[in-house]
Amino acid sequence: MMTENDIEFSGQLYGQLARISKAMASPRRLELVDLLAQGERTVEDLAALTAMSVANTSRHLQSLRAARLVTVRREGLYAHYRLADAGVFRLWQAVRDLGEARLAGVRELVRARFEPRGARGGLDLAELRRRLESGEAIVLDARPEREFRAGHIPGALSLPIEDLDAHLHVLPADQEIVVYSRGPYCGMADQAVAILEANGYRARRLAQGFPDWRAAGHPVAVDSHDARS
C-alpha cells in the first residue's frame, strides 16, 4: 500500500520527467533537435533552416533549454545552441523510430515521400562500417560543408548537394558510392543518389544519417579548427 510519502514522491518524480516529454511535444522542437544533432547553430541559422521567425525559433529553444535538452553559449550578439548531450539525440531517435514502427501515418508519409528509393532501400550502419574497414566503400557526405566540418564519417568526401554536379569528375566510376546526409528523412542523400545514377554511377544511400552513425559508437572525424561549428 502506498504511503503519503510514496504518493508525494511519485507525483514529484513523474512531474519532473514530464518536463522532457512536454518540451518534445512540438513538431517544431523535434525539428530543431534533429537539426542540432548535426552540430551547433545560432538562432538565426535555425530560423532560416526551419522557415520560422527568429522570435518563434528562440521561444522553442528556450522551452528545450528549460528542460535541459539544449545548452547555449553567447558570442557577441549571437546565441549558439547545441544538444545538451548524446542522450538528447537518442531520445529523438527513439521517438522517430517508434513513430515509424507504431504509427501508420508516419509510414505512409515516409513511403510517399521516399518511394523513389525503390526496392534496394538503404545500406545499414553495420554494413557501411564493414565496407569501410575492408576498403570497399567510397563514401560521400551530401550535407552542407559546415555540418561536415563539425563531424563526419572518417574518409568521407564532402560534396554538398548543390556542388555535386560540378565535382562528379573526382568520383571513381567503377565503384559503388554510398551517400549519407542528416538522417533517414533528409532528402539530400536521395537527391545525390539520383544525380549520381543519372550520370552513370552506381550509388546507394545510408539508410540512416550521420548522427545515427555517431550514436552507434562508430568512429567520427572532426575538423579540429571548427569543432564547435
CATH code, 127: 3.40.250.10
pLDDT digits 0-9 by tens, 119-164 = 456 899 999 999 999 988 899 999 999 999 999 999 999 999 999 9
Q: Are residues 58 and 120 in the same domain?
A: no
- One domain, residues 83 and 133: no
Find, among 220, 163, 217, the residue nearest to 188 by Cα: 163
> Do 80 and 138 share a domain, yes or no?
no
Give residue-wise pLDDT tens across range 77-108. 999 999 999 999 999 999 999 999 999 999 99
In a domain, 134, yes or no: yes
* Residue numbers of the domain that contains 10: 4-88
The set of cell numbers assigned to 154 is 572518417
Q: How many domains are contained in the chain?
A: 2
CA distance 118 to 81: 37
pLDDT band at 229 (very low <50, low <70, confident <90, very high): very low
Q: What is the CATH number of the domain that holds 13?
A: 1.10.10.10
